Amino acid sequence: EINWKYVYEKALNHDYPEIFTGDIKTPVKYASKELKRLFSEVEEEMIGKFIDSEFPEAYREIYRERLKEGKDDTLEGQILSVADKIDLLYESFGEIQKRNPEPLYFEIYDKSLRTIIKFKHLYCVQDFLDNILPDMLQEKFIPRSELREITMAILQQKDNI
CB atoms within 10 A of CB 33: 8
pTM: 0.75
CA dihedral sign, ordered 10, 11, 16, 18: positive
Residue 139: phi, psi to the nearest 5? -65, 155
49-84 per-position pLDDT tens digit: 999 999 999 999 999 888 888 888 999 999 999 999
Residue 3: phi, psi to the nearest 5? -90, 95
